[in-house]
Amino acid sequence: MKRILIIILGNLLITGAYAFITVPREIINGGVTSFSMVLGQVFQMNLSVFVNLLTLSLLLICLIFLGKEFFMGSVLSCACYLSMFTFFHSLDLSLALPLPVCTALAGVLVGTGYSLCICAKSTAISFDIIALILNKKNPKVNIAYTMGLINAAVLLSGCAVFGVLSVLYGIIFTAIQTVSLNILQKNFTASVTFK
């Protein structure tokens, strides 16, 4: 039961930050939601369609490469993320704080959410799956920094669609998220061990 609550809380933090801060403020951050924002703009389609398609594809990759325990936790995470994001996004609300404050707050919330999911042997069904797979193959691979690099690559794809300012705030967000996740993994959460 504790594991379930941790996964739900992690997803609540992540989806709340995305739906109420990063998406309405067009802060791209390199995750599935940001990549979906780019695809939604390019193809002029609803954001939720791309979020759901990418999320379900990553869930399949999780099963194949991370195993049953992570998959089961990730199924719960997937259900939480899809339902919470779709609901929160439909409310069309935005946190009314200055953009730098929103960026920092979202980075901490998302980094904390990812940390909670990972410590509960789940993924946030994002590009964290790729970082976890690389860490499983080589435990010296730092999960937080690998996620940061992947996010930076996605950020570059958003530059043409959202402009330099969104990408600049995205880089700041990604740096704060990466540092938050790394600190929490090192100091407060159990390390993930693969069998």
Residue 118 lies in a domain: yes
Residue 25 lies in a domain: yes
Cβ neighbours for 164, distance < 8 A, ≥ 6 positions apart: none
Question: How far apart (Å, rounded) are the C-alpha atoms in residues 70 and 89?
Answer: 27
The greatest distance separating any two alpha carbons of the chain, rounded to the nearest whole angstrom, comes to: 45
CA atoms within 13 A on the CB side of 140: 0
The model's pLDDT over 159-178, given as tens digits with 9 standing for 90+, comes to 877 788 888 888 999 999 99
Residue 194 lies in a domain: no
Residue 32 lies in a domain: yes
Question: How far apart (Å, rounded) are the C-alpha atoms in residues 93 and 194?
Answer: 40
Residue 169 lies in a domain: yes
Residue 192 lies in a domain: no
| Alpha-carbon distances, residue 104 vs 16, 53, 62, 109, 156 (angstroms) | 14, 28, 29, 9, 20
Number of domains comprising the chain: 1
The model's pLDDT over 14-48, given as tens digits with 9 standing for 90+, comes to 999 999 998 898 787 788 877 888 888 888 888 88
**106 lies in which domain range?**
2-187
Token pair belonging to 187: 């100091």
Considering the entire predicted model, what is its pTM? 0.84
Residue 195 lies in a domain: no
